[in-house]
Every structure is written in structure tokens, then in C-alpha cells.
Amino acid sequence: MNTTNEVINKIIEIGPVIIIPSILFLIGFVTTKKPLKNLKNCAFIFIGIMGFSIMLTLFVNFFRPLIETIIKNSPKKFEIIDIGWAASQKIILNSPITLYILIAITGLNILMLFLRLTRTINIDLWNWWILLLVGSMIFSATEIKWLGVLIAIIISSITLVIGDIYAPFIESYYGVRGVSNPQTQTVIWAPLSHAVNFILNKIPIIKKVHIFYDEIQCKLGILSEPMITGFILGFIAGIITKYKNFAFNIRSNILFALSMGLQLAVIMILMPRFVNILYRGLSPAIEDIKNFINRKITKRELYIGIDAVFFAGHPSIIALSTIVIPLSAYIATVLPGNKILPGADLILIPFILVWAVAPSRGDIFRSFISAMIIIPLTLWITSDMGTLFTGFFNKYNIEISEAASKITSFGGGSNWLFWAILQIIKPILNLFS
């Protein structure tokens, strides 16, 4: 078990930037007879993911000053702190059922493929951490190993099915064929966005309102260029950040706003470049895998399960994220029943927006409405999960900051599917509380 935990720990430490290209590289040795082509594809994928991850981190950190201003000017006190997904991942290693969950969800994927219950071959090993977390938390609360494994299996199976259902949206909107996104914390929001679009299509006036990102670009002309858009949005963010004392030091605050504008302009220019590099390697790599499967295994159409990072750099998602990320902080300050201050896991928002945008085919208006429903739900769910998370961390003697009475993870605790299952099995949990 110790050896297994060490291996899992190394995988978690390495992260998706290296894990995903490495897995595709190893698979490529089997699926293609051209090793240099395989190496080239994986090099593009590695460079693309690495560059995009750096840009995404800078993008989210760009909003920190604005978010701090929003929080400082709010009278609300938060009793739960978002400690981030990284801390949650490390705790998983202390769980004695980690190996059992890994074996169970691997076997589940194979069994579901054999029984034709799914089309997805889930190679996104790094994102299995959320399933390990779910099972480990249930075991921590009940000391029942089989129950923790069972809950992880249920969530994994539902995620695979949802991934299958929404795989065509990835091809039609993001332009990547033959893949799905069986990432529990992101794809589970796809049905909600789909339902929002269905309802909007039934409302007489609203159903005629469409604001597509591509149409905005055509109408605005040069103003829609990423550099110009980024500069304008960044400048506005800078002005809002300094609004309270703007009149007292106009020159300094204007320079600050200009600096913010330039920062966002650079990010908006470079991010799509890295996404293009990523796709240059991903598309042929996936095509080679699918051709091999069709030649050697089955003619049935299968999907390769990959991370949402491959789609989060789409221009429409980045544009929507510039509005939703700071707005999420504001919503947290005014939302009744919310107890969490989102912080460490704000980087998850663009990944969630992948499934706010795709079901609407890039309609920014509908995507924004979906996002404005999703964000409050994630805050409520994460707040409600605070007690379970805090108990989980306390069990492994993790210190909690004095600034809050409870801790949680926006990335690990905003999973509505896990939350819904928890409501069903609460009578069992209450027996052990």
C-alpha cells in the first residue's frame, strides 16, 4: 500500500502538464508506427498545455486585486476558507482505500466498455483524484471501506455516461473529434446548461435573443482583436479596483489601470497561441488512437477521455471568464446562505464554463445565464460541504487557519453529483457522526 501511495503521490505532484502528454506518448508507441510523428505530436501537446497553464494562472491571478477590493468593501464575514484542490489531493494519500478505488474505477471503465454502457476510454488519470477524494471522504466519515468505493464507482459511472452524451458538443463547437470529457467536477454541469438552453428556447421574447462570440467579433472589427479587448477590459478592471481613492491620486491610478490593461492584453494574445499549438499535437494523436482501435479492436466509435484543459482556452470561454471570475467574488459577498470565500480554486471557473458555453454553441448571452445559475449553486454546495471537508482534514491532523472555523475546496467540494448522493445517504452518515 505504501508503494502505491508513493506512485499516486508522484502522479499528483507531476500534474496534468506532464501526465497527459506522457500517457499519449506511451499509447502512441502502440497506435502508430511512426515514432518521430508520435514524439512531435506529444511535444506540441506538452508545450501547448504548459504554456496555456502558465497563461491561465496569470489570467486568474490578474483578477486578485479586483477581487480583494470587492471583498474589502463587503461587510460579510466568511466562516469557510477555500484551501484549494492541491491540499485535498495530498490528503488522499493517507486514505487506506485509495488502491481499492483505483482498481474499482479502472475495472468499471473496462466493464462498461465491454457491456456497451459507455463509449469513453478514460485516459485522464490525473483527474481521478476527485473520485479518490469522494471515496476517501465517505470512508473517513463512516469507516466503511466498501461504501467509499461504491460511491466512487457510482459517480464515475454517471460521469462516463454524461461524458458520452456531451462528446458530440466537443466536436461541433470546439472542433476536436473523437474525445469526451469524463472530468467529474466539470462535465456534470453540462446537463444544467443544456436545461437552461431548453427553457430559454421556450420563452417567447428571450428565445430570439442570440449573442454569438463570432458575430461580436465581426461587428466590432478591430475592437474585437484579443489585444484590444484585453486592454480595454483590463483597463476597466484597473479603474474599478482603485475606484475608492481614484480621485485622490489620478496619475498613479491611471498608470495602474494602464498596467492592468497591458497585462490582460498580453495574456489574451498568448493564450490562443498556446491552444493552437496544443491542438496541433492533440488532433493527430487522437486520430491515430482511433484508427488503431478501429483496425485492431472494434469498428465501434469510441471516445478518448481527456481533461477540460484542452477546451478551456477557447476565445469565448476566456471572454466569458473575464466577466464571471470577478463576478463570482461579488456574488459570494451578497448570496444568502453562502459561507465560503472562493480563492485558491478560482482557476476552476474557466473549466466549468467549458460546459456553460458548449451546450449553447457559443451563445454568450445563454452561456452567461447558465454561468449565473452555476456559480451560486457551486457556492451553496461548497458551503454545505464545509463540515464534511473540515472533519476529513481534522482526522488527518491538518491545521485549520484561525481566520475561519471551517475549510473546504471549491474544486473538490462543488460537485453537485457527490452532494446529491450525500443527501441520499445522510441517514447512514448520521449514524457515524
Q: How many domains does the chain have?
A: 1
Query: Could you tell me where the beta strands, DSSP code E, fall in 15-95?
Result: 80-82
Higher pLDDT, 402 or 323: 323
Lowest-confidence segment of 73-87, 236-250, 396-410 by average pLDDT: 396-410
The pLDDT assigned to 106 comes to: 93
Question: What is the per-residue pLDDT for 5?
Answer: 62
Q: What's the confidence (pLDDT) of residue 404?
A: 58
**DSSP state, residue 363:** B
Quote the pTM value: 0.88
Amino acid (one-letter) located at 124: D
Helix (H) or strand (E) holding 179: strand 179-180
Average predicted confidence (pLDDT) for the chain? 85
Rounded to an integer, the average pLDDT of 204-213 is: 84
Cα–Cα distances (Å) from 86 to 75, 165, 223, 339, in that order, read: 29, 29, 38, 21
- How many angstroms separate the CA atoms of 308 and 184, rounded? 10
The letter for the amino acid at 295 is R
- The predicted pLDDT at position 14 comes to 65
pLDDT at 31: 84
User: Distance between CA 123 and CA 19 in Å, rounded?
Assistant: 10
- CA-to-CA distance for 152 and 359, rounded, in angstroms? 26
Q: Exposed, middle or buried: residue 415 (CB in 10 Å: 0-12, 13-18, 19+)?
A: buried
DSSP symbols for 68-91:
HHHHHT-----SEEE--HHHHHHH
pLDDT tens digits, one per residue of 76-133: 888 888 877 777 776 777 778 888 999 999 999 999 999 999 999 998 888 888 898 8
The pLDDT score that the predictor gives to residue 370 is 95
Least confident of 129-133, 313-317, 409-413: 409-413
> Residue 59: pLDDT above 60?
yes
Q: How confident is the model at residue 239, as a pLDDT?
A: 87
* 149-163, 275-289, 382-396: range with lowest mean pLDDT: 382-396
Q: Give dist(CA 129, CA 236) in Å, integer.
A: 38
**pLDDT given at position 116:** 93
Phi and psi angles of residue 118, each rounded to the nearest 5 degrees, phi first = -150, 160
pLDDT exceeds 70 at position 254: yes
pLDDT at 348: 87
Show the cell assigned to 33.
508506427
> For 322-354, how does the pLDDT look when each residue is reduced to its tens digit (9 = 90+)?
889 889 988 988 999 888 887 777 888 999 999
Angle at 179 between CA 162 and CA 151, to 5 degrees: 35
Q: How confident is the model over 284-290, as a mean pLDDT?
A: 88
Condensed to tens digits (0 to 9), the pLDDT of residues 14-44 reads 667 788 888 888 888 888 878 888 899 899 9
Identity of the amino acid at 273: R
Q: Which domain covers residue 135, as residue numbers?
A: 2-432
pLDDT at 403 over 60: no
pLDDT of residue 149: 94
Taking 90 as the threshold, does the pLDDT of residue 181 lie above it?
yes
CA pair distance 109, 304, nearest whole angstrom = 12
Euclidean distance between CA atoms 87 and 84, whole angstroms? 6
Give the 3-state secondary structure of residue 338.
Answer: coil
pLDDT digits (tens, 9 = 90+) for 218-232: 776 666 677 888 888
Please give the average per-residue pLDDT across 180-196, as a whole number. 93
Enumerate residues 6+ apart whose C-beta is below 8 A from 46: 17, 18, 21, 281
The pLDDT score that the predictor gives to residue 245 is: 73
Q: What pLDDT shows up at residue 43?
A: 92
